[in-house]
Amino acid sequence: MCFSFVFVRSSPRFCKTSNPATRPAAATYDCTNYCGTWVASDSGCSNTCGTGSITRSYVCSTGVANQCNPAAQPATEYPSCTTYCGSWVASDSGCSNSCGAGFITRSYICNTGVDSQCDPGTRPATTYPTCATYCGAWVASDSTCSNTCGAGSITRSYVCSTGNSANW
């Protein structure tokens, strides 16, 4: 359609080319208005215990795939994931002193035997509780008879064989 300078519809004879044979034919063009957006849809972790991956695909927010622009659809991703299936249990060392007071080292290990299968954020801190190892034996020591002639009494006392009664 041709227009004059005052934007009034004019007759085709005022067009640059007024030959009707050179007039372009009317045409219909396809167009698409995409009304949806792509949203992530994640599968569950591929491993029920330990490290695995999820499948992250993208679906159109409207539920109809052709209502989202296919050129804008993100590629499927496979990010890693971790599922913790174990729990931390205490593991104590022996007493640090073979005779008397000392300490033990209490650390924590995963009950599955694989530390990566327990959540590291919930692992208790290593502690060092006190302990005592008793290494002596009680030895009897008798006094002499209280009377040198006739009936009397003997006093029996006990001492630690290490010489320190705290180590009994």
Q: What are phi and psi of 51, to 5 degrees?
A: -90, 140
47-51, 85-89, 134-138, 152-156: which is most confident: 85-89
Q: How many helices (H) and strands (E) does the chain have?
A: 0, 10
Give the rounded percent of residues in the chain with a pLDDT score beyond 90. 43
Q: Are residues 102 and 166 in the same domain?
A: yes
- Residue 149 falls within a domain, yes or no? no
For residues 89 and 106, give the distance between their C-alpha atoms in angstroms, rounded to a whole number: 10
- Residue 124 falls within a domain, yes or no? yes
Q: Are residues 167 and 94 in the same domain?
A: yes
- Residue 28 falls within a domain, yes or no? no
Q: What's the structural domain count of the chain?
A: 2
Quote the pLDDT of residue 168: 46
How far the first Cα of the chain sits from its last, in Å, is 115
Q: Are residues 136 and 124 in the same domain?
A: yes
- Residue 121 falls within a domain, yes or no? yes
Q: Are residues 57 and 71 in the same domain?
A: yes
pLDDT in tens, 73-128: 999 999 999 889 999 999 999 999 888 889 999 999 999 999 989 999 999 999 99
Quote the pLDDT of residue 7: 41
Q: Are residues 122 and 138 in the same domain?
A: yes
Domain assignment of residue 52, given as a range: 38-83
Q: Are residues 77 and 93 in the same domain?
A: no
The count of other CB atoms within 10 Å of the CB of residue 60 is 19
Q: Are residues 167 and 105 in the same domain?
A: yes
Residue 6 DSSP label: T
Could you tell me the pLDDT band of residue 51, with boundaries at 50, 70 and 90? confident
Cα atoms in the 13 Å half-sphere on the side-chain side of 66: 2
